[in-house]
Amino acid sequence: MDRGLPLLDAQAIAFSAGDRQLLQPISLQLYPGDNVLLTGPSGSGKSTLLKILASLMSPTAGQIFFNGSDITTLEAETYRQQVSYCFQTPQLFGQTVYDNLALPWQIRHQKPPRDTLVSALESVNLAAAMLDKPAEQLSGGEKQRVGLLRNLQFMPQVLLLDEVTSALDEENRQTVLSLIRRVSAENQIAVVRISHDIQDIEQAEQVLRLTPQKKEKARESA
C-alpha cells in the first residue's frame, strides 16, 4: 500500500572519518506512528546513524529529507524541535530538574504550568519533589528520565532514542517504554530507538539491524 510521502527519508546515508567507515550506506523511511528498533553489535554505527538523522552530524554520503525537503535547506533549530534526539547520558542544564523541564518552554517564550511538569515526572515514577532537586544530584536513571521528559514537553514528529532505558531497573524501564508507546500512538510520532534487549527485539514492530565493518580499525563504539 502506498503510504505517500515519508515523514523522514534517509537515502543511502553513510559516514566515514578518514579511511574508517563508521556507518555503511543505509536507507530508512519513517512515517507517522512508525516504531523502529535499531540493534546490532558495538561498532555497527547505531549512535552515528541517530546523530545523523538528528542533524547533529553530517553524513559523508547520501541525503536526508524531512517532509520532502532536504534537511540541509532547513533551519537547524526548527528541524531539531521536530526531529528530537535523546542521548543515552543526557546533558542536564541549569541548577534543578525544573530548569531542565522548563527549557523547551522558555525557548518558545512560554512559562510552563508547574502542574504539567509534576504530572510529567509522575508519569515516569518520579515524585513531585524531584522538580526542585539539584540536577547534579540525580542518579543515572533519574537523568535519563528527566532527559526524555525534556524532549517530550512539546511533541516532536520524530523521536530518536539512544538507549534511554539503559540505567533503569526493570520496573522503571517498562514504565518508560509504556510512556513512549503511548505518546507515539496518541501523537503519531515516529520513534527510532536503540536497544539490545532480546525481549524488546522480539516484540518490536520493525527491527533494523546494523552490522560492523570487518576491519578492526573501522570499528566504532555505538
Instruction: Please state the rounded mean pLDDT for residues 4-17.
Output: 95
The rounded mean pLDDT for the chain is: 92
Question: Between 3.20.20.140, 3.90.550.10, 3.40.50.300, 2.120.10.30, what CATH number should domain 8-211 receive?
Answer: 3.40.50.300
Tell me the C-alpha distance between 204 and 92, whole Å: 30
State CA 133 to chain mean position distance. Answer: 24
pLDDT in tens, 107-140: 999 999 999 999 999 999 999 999 999 999 999 9
Residue 31: strand, helix, or coil: coil
How many Cβ atoms from other residues are within 10 Å of residue 177's Cβ? Answer: 19
Q: Dmax over Cα atoms in the chain, in whole Å? A: 53
Kindly state the cell numbers that stand for 40: 546490532
pLDDT in tens, 150-206: 999 999 999 999 999 999 999 999 999 999 999 999 999 999 999 988 888 888 889
The full set of domain ranges for the chain reads: 8-211
pLDDT in tens, 59-116: 999 999 999 999 999 999 999 999 999 999 899 989 999 999 999 999 999 999 999 9
Torsion over CA: 23, 201, 178, 88 (sign): negative
